[in-house]
Amino acid sequence: MSMEVTSQFFEKNASKALKDPNLRKAMQIIGGPMASRRVETARELPEFEALRDEGVKIRNHVLQHIDLYLERFEQQLTARGGKLHWCRTPREARETILALCRSRDAKLVTKGKSMVTEEIGLNAFLEEHGITPVETDLGEYIIQLAHEPPSHIIGPALHKTREQVAELFEDHHPDYELNGRKAGPRSTEPQVLVTEARHVLRDRYFQADVGITGANFLIAETGATVIVTNEGNGDLTQSLPKMHIAVSSIEKVIPNLEDLSTILRILARSATGQEMSCYTTLSCGPKRPEDIDGPEEFHVVLVDNGRSEMLGTELQPLMRCIRCGACMNNCPVYHSVGGHAYGWVYPGPIGAALDPHMIGLETARHLPNASTFCGKCEEVCPMRIPLPDIMRYWREQAHEKQITPPLQRWGVELWAFAAKTPWLYRLGTRIAIAALNMLGKDKGRFAKMPLASGWTDGRDLPAPQSAETFMSQYKSRKGSRK
Amino acid sequence: MSSIESKPRVALFVTCLVDLFRPSVGFATIKLLEDAGCVVDVPEAQVCCAQPAYNSGDRKDTVAIARQVIETFEDYDYVVAPSGSCGGMIKDHYPALFAAEPDWQRRAQDLSARMFELTSFLVDVLKSDPVAASLNAKVTYHDSCSGLRELGVKAQPRALLGSVDGVELVEMKTPETCCGFGGTFCVKYGEVSTDIVSRKTADIAETGADMLLAGDMGCLLNMAGKLKREGSSMQVRHVAEVLAGMTDTPAIGESK
């Protein structure tokens, strides 16, 4: 029911992505400006590293007492007239949301950006039941028109070039007119495209029966939900319709507003390199009699979807994640293949560490393997999540449970057997190196190598420098010295 | 000069890639250590640091090989590797392997404290004098990931290169970006690995340098392989070769 999973085809997905010229153009932005802006804004804030430590402390503390903070959040939310819906599974969450929409006889719902709704496959489910969801975040809107999943957790349409966006708008808003005249061939200027999306979406906000948003944080002290956006679409989504549903997950709870301000100071800097995002909106319950606007009903749908199983395990640090996307902005593998290759909601290093838990290791086994372990993700993660360690944990699980393909498993075990038997290793390597050296001597490298085409398809393999290994050369030199 | 007793006894952990692909780096390392006043030994029982098993999820074999390494290098003042990757494995990861075996963990921690990457050992531990080498070349330096992020190797090789007569160092735009080697990753996900290294070689070419240096054979084989496939005339060498003044051998991936 939830988003179609293609993680098991990572190699094929990656290969396709590497040949997509539009994707390659789009990826240059992530590897270049996105990554460098983070460095610059972090540098401007002397206490940035200390704030990271503080953030880690806050999250670790909450995870130790998560039951307490969630109950406190529910109390406060209820006291302010909101209602909390506990949902163990994606299915429970979808059905809860559908029932809420039906209670308002909803035909059209507007949506702010929410990865949890991607996780539970909400849009397709609502459509099946006769309700039209309209994404209002520009990136989400673009990929909704294109019928694609997001490729990045904060920039869902980063893989699309502006030419592709203009084409999509041409197809989907054929009658769009600006200032009384049709735009003719559509401009590919970002400014013009954004204006068009704004105009089209503006009517939707007023027509919507229900507004659905995510929540970056849940404040236990006040029962408020928090969204962080750059477009202001979230505010219109949640304040104009009669009902606001915030969909979030259990690890998003934090104790109080002090903690919120600490984490906000590192969130946008890590994500987009902004000091703060343009809008930070706290929702503190439905409209009160004295309020001039706001929803009549306020519901928080809290999804577990396997998260509570991570508590107290090697995976618990993943629950510190604040979904900033810094790990993917700085990942060399992500820069090459983009987000769709990972084949599920969460791509990049966080996905490689999280997805095996969420969709099963057999399905996601490539993801923790498709990493060079360069360690850049851990270096930039504001919450200092040990992503490479967790990917290695999955590799160990895959080896132990024999999910790793037999040839790879046997290969490593055979190598390890030799490594544990030095005389055998020396004998084997002496023969192999002598042979390789003889074959590659003329050129000093190989353009083709059986069993190593993964290497030689795209680059040469340097030949061993000498017919003798270092160890045997050293032994004979030492012998002659005596 | 001090007497033999006061000279540090240093074991060379040669690393499997230097052993097999580039013995000259092993000899360059010995020369640098001896020039800096060390007594160098190469224990014969050494094979590998176990990273291929560790990163493939084979914890059982990793632990068995780690025990072997710990025993082999027990009796030296220091252990030095011309690699940040193998150095990082032993220094950073070994102690954690034995969380459930206090006695072995103590031994792993003891080795960890004595384990160093070559340039870091020369600069941080020995605080050795400038090297006595010269080379007329414009070089660029790639920071290998494990050395950089696990061991903090960044300034040390540059400081040493600064003392080589005639060397001009030009930095890449992204010296700290991974080259895409990643151990078995480079064969298992060859297409992705090749794409990553092609971004690296583009950056390398842009510097206008005529020699690429790094401190890890894995990265060097990868980058040299890509540069040669692209028809580049760039010489690729381990930094130890330049520091030891041993650049008379053909560069990596070349025959003369």
Tokens representing residue A404 in the block: 């790793």
Tokens 């200092």, residue located: A384
pLDDT value at B103 more than 80: yes
Residue B248, in any domain of the structure: no
Residue B85, in any domain of the structure: yes
Is B65 in CB contact (< 8 Å) with chain A?
yes
Task: Name the fold adopted by A58-305.
Answer: Rossmann fold (3.40.50)
Q: Which of A220-229, A422-431, B56-65, B170-179 is the least confident region?
A: A422-431
How near does any CA of chain B get to the CA of A452, in Å?
Answer: 6
Is B53 in CB contact (< 8 Å) with chain A?
yes
Residue B256, in any domain of the structure: no
Q: Do B45 and A400 touch (CB under 8 A)?
A: no
Mean per-residue pLDDT for B15-43? Answer: 97
For residue range A10-35, list pLDDT tens digits in order.
Answer: 999 999 999 999 899 888 888 778 88
Is B167 in CB contact (< 8 Å) with chain A?
no
Is B45 in CB contact (< 8 Å) with chain A?
yes
For residue range A66-98, list pLDDT tens digits in order.
Answer: 999 999 999 999 999 999 999 999 999 999 999
One-letter amino acid for residue B60 of the chain: K
Select the residue of A397, A462, A470 nearest B252 (Cβ to Cβ).
Answer: A462
Select the residue of B23, B54, B145 nearest A469 (Cβ to Cβ).
Answer: B23
Is B168 in CB contact (< 8 Å) with chain A?
no
Select the residue of B23, B48, B185 nearest A473 (Cβ to Cβ).
Answer: B23
Is B195 in CB contact (< 8 Å) with chain A?
yes
Select the residue of B20, B178, B228 nearest A332 (Cβ to Cβ).
Answer: B178
Tell me the CATH number at B143: 3.40.50.11810
Q: What residues in A contact B192, CB-CB < 8 Å?
A: 14, 18, 333, 336-337, 370
Q: In this predicted structure, what is the pLDDT of residue B235?
A: 97
Q: In this predicted structure, what is the pLDDT of residue A180?
A: 64
Q: Do B149 and A374 touch (CB under 8 A)?
A: yes
Tokens representing residue B18 in the block: 């230097």
Q: Do B145 and A373 touch (CB under 8 A)?
A: yes
How near does any CA of chain B get to the CA of A307, in Å?
Answer: 24
Select the residue of A379, A396, A464 nearest B59 (Cβ to Cβ).
Answer: A396
Tokens 């430590």, residue located: A53
Instruction: Grade residue B5 by pLDDT with cuts at 50, 70 and 90.
Output: low
Q: What residues in B contact A332, CB-CB < 8 Å?
A: 177-178, 180, 196, 199
For residue range A255-281, list pLDDT tens digits in order.
Answer: 999 999 999 999 999 999 999 999 999
Q: In this predicted structure, what is the pLDDT of residue B223?
A: 98
Is B99 in CB contact (< 8 Å) with chain A?
no
Q: In this predicted structure, what is the pLDDT of residue A1?
A: 40
Tell me the CATH number at B81: 3.40.50
Residue B233, in any domain of the structure: yes
List Cβ neighbours of A214 (8 Å cut-off, separation of 6 or more): A112, A113, A114, A115, A116, A117, A227, A246, A247, A248
Task: Indicate if B118 and B140 belong to the same structural domain.
Answer: no
Nearest Cα residue in chain A from B183: A372
Domain A1-44+314-404 and domain A58-305 have a common topology:
no
Residue B142, in any domain of the structure: yes
For chain A, the residue count is 482
Q: What residues in B contact A444, CB-CB < 8 Å?
A: 250, 253-256
Q: Do A395 and B252 touch (CB under 8 A)?
A: no
Q: What is the pLDDT along chain A (482 residues), one digit of tens a residue?
A: 456 899 999 999 999 999 999 899 888 888 778 888 999 999 999 999 999 999 999 999 999 999 999 999 999 999 999 999 999 999 999 999 999 999 999 999 999 999 999 999 999 999 999 999 999 999 999 999 999 999 999 989 989 988 999 999 999 998 887 666 665 677 889 999 999 999 999 999 999 999 999 999 999 999 999 999 999 999 999 999 999 999 999 999 999 999 999 999 999 999 999 999 999 999 999 999 999 999 999 999 999 999 999 999 999 999 999 999 999 999 999 999 999 999 999 999 999 999 999 999 999 999 999 999 999 999 999 999 999 999 999 999 999 999 999 999 999 999 999 999 999 999 999 999 999 999 998 899 999 988 889 999 999 999 999 999 999 999 999 877 65
Q: What residues in B contact A415, CB-CB < 8 Å?
A: 52-53
Nearest Cα residue in chain A from B178: A374
Nearest Cα residue in chain A from B194: A458
Tell me which of B124, B143, B161 is where a domain ends: B124
Select the residue of A335, A392, A460 nearest B55 (Cβ to Cβ).
Answer: A392
Is B105 in CB contact (< 8 Å) with chain A?
no
Task: Indicate if B22 and B109 belong to the same structural domain.
Answer: yes
Tell me which of B97, B124, B151 is where a domain ends: B124
Stretch (H or E) spanning B68:
helix B59-72
Q: Do B26 and A470 touch (CB under 8 A)?
A: yes
Q: What residues in B contact A420, CB-CB < 8 Å?
A: 61, 64-65, 68
How near does any CA of chain A get to the CA of B70, in Å?
Answer: 13
Work out the percent of chain B whose per-residue pLDDT is above 90.
95
Q: What residues in A contact B150, CB-CB < 8 Å?
A: 375
Listed residue (A210, A176, A21) closest to A107, CA to CA: A210
Q: Do B229 and A379 touch (CB under 8 A)?
A: no
Select the residue of B23, B61, B180 nearest A416 (Cβ to Cβ).
Answer: B61
End-to-end alpha carbon distance in chain B: 39
Select the residue of B45, B58, B224 nearest A413 (Cβ to Cβ).
Answer: B58
Task: Indicate if B168 and B57 belong to the same structural domain.
Answer: no
Q: Do B250 and A468 touch (CB under 8 A)?
A: no
Task: Indicate if B197 and B114 belong to the same structural domain.
Answer: no
Residue B237, in any domain of the structure: yes
Listed residue (A200, A212, A246) closest to A111, CA to CA: A212
Q: Is A232 left (phi over 0), alpha (psi -120 to 50) or beta?
A: left
End-to-end alpha carbon distance in chain A: 75
Is B173 in CB contact (< 8 Å) with chain A?
no
Q: Do B225 and A455 touch (CB under 8 A)?
A: yes
Tell me which of B63, B95, B124 is where a domain ends: B124
One-letter amino acid for residue B124 of the chain: D
Task: Indicate if B36 and B107 belong to the same structural domain.
Answer: yes
Is B154 in CB contact (< 8 Å) with chain A?
no
Q: In this predicted structure, what is the pLDDT of residue A183?
A: 55
Nearest Cα residue in chain A from B64: A420
Is B212 in CB contact (< 8 Å) with chain A?
no
Q: In this predicted structure, what is the pLDDT of residue A176?
A: 83
Residue B253, in any domain of the structure: no
The answer to whether the CB of A217 falls within 8 A of the CB of A281 is no
Select the residue of B53, B178, B192 nearest A376 (Cβ to Cβ).
Answer: B178
Nearest Cα residue in chain B from A429: B20
ipTM: 0.95
Residue to mutate among A377, A449, A451, A470, with most B CBs inside 10 A, is A470
Spell out a b/e string for B75-110, using b for 16 or more CB atoms within 10 Å of the CB, else e: ebebbbbbbbbbbbbbbebbbebbeeeeebbebbee
Q: In this predicted structure, what is the pLDDT of residue B128?
A: 85
Listed residue (A60, A246, A235, A273) closest to A154, CA to CA: A273
List Cβ neighbours of A272 (8 Å cut-off, separation of 6 or more): A34, A37, A38, A154, A230
Three-state secondary-structure class, residue B245: coil
Domain count, chain B: 2
Domain boundaries, chain A: 1-44+314-404, 58-305, 411-481
The whole model's pTM is what?
0.95
Average pLDDT score, chain B: 96
Task: Indicate if B212 and B116 belong to the same structural domain.
Answer: no
Which CATH number fits the domain A1-44+314-404, given the four candidates 2.40.50, 1.10.1060, 3.30.1490, 1.10.3470? Answer: 1.10.1060
The domain of B228 spans 130-243
C-alpha distances out from residue B211 to A80, A325, B117, B160, B204, Å: 67, 36, 22, 16, 9
Residue B153, in any domain of the structure: yes
Q: In this predicted structure, what is the pLDDT of residue B132?
A: 86
